[in-house]
């Protein structure tokens, strides 16, 4: 039995560009039992024979949700072709994942960049995650709107080094990166508007006092800095002409220090985000906003 073609007018789904051995694991994580908001997934295949000849890459059919909500689109031209992206409803997708094409070897990053540019033209606002083969090619992606770049080799090298410094740290990362019932995940959540101006220290205190089912481990500051260089100004002008928002400058702060800025006593702004460890996604307002006093 073949996988279904995607229906027209999908919304809030995930588009995976290119098939590789990663497809099975990625779809398994997106459709894991512990995920409460399981998305539809559309795979845009770059080569029909490659997909057909590697059944071990296919998601498990015994997952009932995957059987009904995983779709495969095989069209000439693959994911870099604009018409194929439109057929995958890229304009209404929540996210796009660009996998390295295993046929391209060390040249895969160049092909992935072309796919990223095609994605931008159709949906500049889609959250794009790209698999990078060589970290030296990261610089070339600065001119694109790719949101996150994952260089597997780079991550593996750092994890190996950390495992030597702190034996067992690999097990910690595995536990938060796997979606299984009863395991913790890391969540990045927008600070609720009523909490703007509240310090990190106060938010942690409120979570403890409310016996919240999560731990706040840090925050992300988002600020829109005025362009400094000529290149920055050109990018800002180009973004404005295309009707796009300029990407914020982000400062990541985990386990903030005392008496430093940003630190534990930093007042968070409306655009900032909290980093949590929790078993499931929660409503922050329920635990961090004091209840109205009863009259």
SS3 177: helix
Contact 269, 193 (CB under 8 A): no
- What is the model's pLDDT at position 19? 96
* Residue 229, phi-psi category: left (phi > 0), alpha (psi -120 to 50), beta (remainder): beta
Q: Within the chain, which residue ranges are assigned CATH 3.40.50.720?
A: 14-157
Per the CB < 8 A criterion, the answer to whether 190 and 220 are in contact is: no
Has residue 206 got a pLDDT over 60?
Answer: yes
Do 72 and 5 form a contact (C-beta atoms < 8 A)? yes
Nearby residues of 65 by Cβ (< 8 Å), 6 or more positions away? 31, 38
Q: Quick one: pLDDT band at residue 237, thresholds 50, 70, 90?
A: low
SS3 track for 258-289: CCCCCCCCCECCCCCEEEEEECCCCCHHHHHC
Residue 134 is predicted with a pLDDT of 79
Q: To which residue do tokens 């995976």 refer?
A: 16
Residue range 162-181: average pLDDT? Answer: 83
Of 147, 112, 98, 100, nearest in space to 126 by CA: 147
Rounded to an integer, the average pLDDT of 189-199 is 95
Q: In this structure, what are the phi and psi dihedrals at residue 131, rounded to the nearest 5 degrees?
A: -85, 125
For the ranges 106-110, 197-201, 204-208, 234-238, the lowest mean pLDDT is seen at 234-238
Integer Cα distance of 57 and 24 in angstroms: 5
**Mean pLDDT on 170-183:** 79
Cα radius of gyration rounded to whole Å, the chain: 21
Tokens 């205190």 belong to residue: 205
CATH fold of the domain at 184-288: Alpha-Beta Plaits (3.30.70)
Question: What average pLDDT is seen over the chain?
Answer: 86
CB-based contact 137:154 (threshold 8 Å): no
- pLDDT on residue 140: 63
The predicted pLDDT at position 259 comes to 84
pLDDT score, position 230: 52
Q: Do residues 280 and 179 make contact, with C-beta atoms less than 8 angstroms apart? A: no
Percent of the chain beyond pLDDT 90?
A: 55
Answer whether residue 215 shows pLDDT above 70.
Answer: yes
Polymer length of the chain: 295
pLDDT tens profile 136-170: 767 666 656 678 888 877 777 888 888 888 898 88
- Residues 132 and 98: their CA atoms lie apart, in Å, by 9
pLDDT digits (tens, 9 = 90+) for 71-101: 999 999 999 999 999 999 999 999 999 999 9
CA gap 181, 295 in Å, rounded: 41
pTM of the predicted protein model: 0.75
186 neighbors 176 (Cβ within 8 angstroms):
yes
Alpha helices in 178-290 (DSSP H): 200-209, 230-241, 284-288
pLDDT at residue 244, as a whole number? 45
Q: What are the pLDDT digits (tens) for 6-39?
A: 998 899 999 999 999 999 999 998 998 878 889 9
The architecture in CATH of the region 14-157 reads: 3-Layer(aba) Sandwich (3.40)
Residues of the chain with CATH 3.30.70: 184-288
Residue 95's nearest CA partner among 134, 142, 130 is: 130
Residue 82 CB partners (closer than 8 Å, separation 6+): 118, 121, 122
Helix (H) or strand (E) holding 96: strand 95-98
């Amino acid at each position: 039995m073949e996988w279904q073609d995607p229906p027209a007018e999908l919304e809030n789904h995930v588009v995976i560009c290119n098939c590789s051995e990663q497809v099975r694991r990625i779809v398994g994580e997106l459709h894991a039992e512990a995920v409460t908001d399981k998305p539809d997934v559309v795979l845009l295949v770059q080569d029909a024979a490659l997909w057909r000849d590697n059944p071990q890459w296919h998601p498990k059919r015994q997952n009932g949700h995957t059987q009904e909500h995983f779709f495969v689109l095989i069209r000439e031209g693959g994911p870099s072709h604009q018409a194929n992206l439109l057929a995958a409803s890229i304009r209404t997708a929540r996210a796009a994942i660009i996998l390295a094409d295993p046929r391209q070897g060390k040249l895969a990053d160049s092909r992935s960049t072309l796919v990223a540019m095609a994605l931008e033209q159709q949906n500049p606002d889609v959250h794009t995650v790209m698999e990078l083969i060589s970290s030296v090619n990261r610089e070339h992606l600065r001119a694109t709107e790719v949101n996150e770049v994952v260089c597997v080799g780079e991550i593996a090298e750092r994890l190996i080094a950390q495992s030597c410094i702190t034996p067992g740290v690999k097990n910690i990362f595995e536990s938060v990166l796997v979606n299984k019932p009863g395991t913790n995940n890391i969540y990045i959540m927008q600070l609720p508007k009523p909490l703007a101006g509240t310090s990190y220290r106060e938010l942690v205190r409120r979570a403890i006092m409310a016996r919240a089912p999560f731990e706040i481990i840090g925050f992300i500051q988002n600020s829109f800095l005025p362009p400094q260089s000529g290149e920055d100004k050109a990018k800002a002008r180009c973004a404005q002409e295309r009707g796009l928002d300029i990407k914020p400058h982000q400062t990541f702060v985990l386990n903030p220090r005392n008496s430093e800025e940003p630190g534990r006593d930093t007042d968070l702004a409306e655009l900032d985000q909290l980093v949590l460890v929790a078993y499931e996604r929660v409503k922050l307002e329920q635990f961090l906003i004091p209840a109205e006093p009863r009259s």
